[in-house]
């Protein structure tokens, strides 16, 4: 199985800050990497697919980059509604696997 | 816009079979796409269970494959999950979702299932 790790596990940032979340795969997954945002009590929401493509309706302050084993989710200017937990997920091979999540709090 | 809604018993006894259904609206299952199940528990995080095509083809997580059965009912525009021989570790929130070429693009709200006697 491909193991996904994320760092940091949590962060606290101010409105307007640039936020970066890292995701690493245990082996190369090309660009088969997706990002989700989850708020408490809600289902995950797809943000980014194929490492860098923005899902329809997702604000342009969200962006993704990377290939191989190392990936990054960036929020260019953190907004109050961006709190929640962010997960990466690989779709390169079965079983599909998710990272443990990064919790983002607003200062 | 596609919407998904899980339904099924919230409490299942150990060794019984967990059964959930996902009703799809705003999109025809027969139009294509893979339809998936994912669960989330405090202990294991997000775990992919499997997905099914409208034709009935399936892919299951090998760790659950021996206990999982998925099916699709195009006439009712819904798909289902059965997980047999459940134990406490199967207690989780179960989500259904539509899978695009890469990601799970839309998710249901989730159904809490507790395994307990």
The secondary structure of A47-77 as a DSSP string is EEETTTEEPTT--TTEEEEEETTEEEEEESS
Average pLDDT of chain B is 96
- Asked whether A88 and B46 are in contact (CB, 8 A), the reply is no
Interface of B with A in 63-92 (CB under 8 A): 63
Mean pLDDT of B20-42: 95
Query: Cβ of B26 under 8 Å from any chain A Cβ?
Result: no
**Residues of chain A positioned with their CB less than 8 A from the CB of B98:** none
Q: What pLDDT sits at residue B42?
A: 83
Mutation pick from B3, B51, B104 vs chain A, by most beta carbons of A within 10 Å, is: B104
Query: Cβ of B31 under 8 Å from any chain A Cβ?
Result: no
Query: Cβ of B101 under 8 Å from any chain A Cβ?
Result: yes
Contacts for A61 with CB less than 8 Å, ≥ 6 apart: A75, A76, A77, A79
What pairs with residue A78 in β-bridges?
A: none
Average pLDDT of chain A is 97
- Asked whether B7 and B111 are in contact (CB, 8 A), the reply is yes
% of chain B exceeding 90 in pLDDT = 93
Distance CA A101, CA B9 (A): 28
Mean pLDDT of B29-39: 94
CA-only gyration radius of chain A, Å: 13
Residue A82 sits at φ, ψ, to 5 deg, of: -90, 5
Q: What pLDDT sits at residue B43?
A: 80
């Amino acid at each position: 199985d491909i193991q996904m790790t994320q760092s940091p596990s949590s962060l606290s940032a101010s409105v307007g800050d640039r936020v970066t979340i890292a995701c690493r795969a245990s082996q190369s997954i090309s660009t088969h990497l997706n990002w989700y945002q989850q708020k408490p009590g809600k289902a995950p929401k797809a943000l980014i697919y194929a490492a860098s493509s923005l899902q329809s309706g997702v604000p342009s302050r969200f962006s993704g980059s990377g290939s191989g084993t190392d990936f990054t989710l960036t929020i260019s200017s953190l907004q109050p509604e961006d709190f929640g937990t962010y997960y990466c997920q690989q779709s390169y091979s079965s079983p599909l696997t998710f990272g443990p999540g990064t919790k983002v709090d607003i200062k | 816009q596609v919407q998904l809604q899980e339904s099924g018993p919230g409490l299942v006894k150990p060794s019984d079979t967990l059964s959930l259904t996902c009703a799809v609206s705003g999109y025809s299952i027969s139009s294509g796409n893979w339809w998936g199940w994912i669960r989330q528990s405090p202990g294991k995080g997000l775990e992919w269970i499997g997905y099914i095509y409208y034709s009935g083809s399936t892919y299951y997580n090998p760790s659950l494959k021996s206990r999982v059965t998925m099916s699709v009912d195009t006439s009712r525009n819904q798909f289902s999950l059965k997980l047999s021989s459940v134990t406490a570790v199967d207690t989780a929130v179960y989500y259904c979702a539509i899978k695009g070429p890469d990601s799970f693009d839309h998710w249901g709200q989730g159904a809490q299932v507790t395994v307990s006697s």
